[in-house]
Amino acid sequence: MRTDRDYSDIPGTYVFDPEHSRQGYHLNMFCMSLNEAKNRDEFRESETHYLDKFPVTPEQRKAVLERNWIDMLRLGGNFYYTFKIAIFDGLTMQEVGAAMSGVSKETFQKMMLDGGRQIDGNRYTSEWKK
């Protein structure tokens, strides 16, 4: 990921800029392929064999197979495309948000109802310097 952008200092932020788009192209094309029922069936039959059709990186492949949502984004995935895997798995947006936040669905729901994550320490990594 680039470090020379204004948003590079925002923790956990993976902006889908042109560089990120290029990095995640094949990952995102795999995700988009799940729009078709026959592809979902093939993926369900053997995730590893279906992924072989796409020249994703080993890291992207691992992230998909482990359903590591944050790594998929970090490795160039667009959230709206990677969420197609979550839909395939029968997950809701709240369940994925909870997984990405490392909390239960109920804790995540409460956090959102209470106004979201606290801003202190979450705006810029430069705030973390001692």
pLDDT, tens digit, 9 for 90 and up, residues 85-109: 999 999 998 999 889 888 899 998 9
C-alpha to C-alpha distance for 44 and 37, rounded to whole angstroms: 10
Contact 72, 27 (CB under 8 A): yes
Q: For the whole model, what pTM was predicted?
A: 0.82
DSSP label of 102? T
| pLDDT above 90 for 118 | no
| pLDDT above 80 for 129 | no
The class level of CATH for 13-90 reads: mainly alpha
So where are the chain's domains? 13-90, 92-130
Q: Which pair of structure tokens corresponds to residue 33?
A: 């392929």
Closest CA to 51 of 27, 72, 23: 27
Q: Which pair of structure tokens corresponds to residue 52?
A: 């072989």
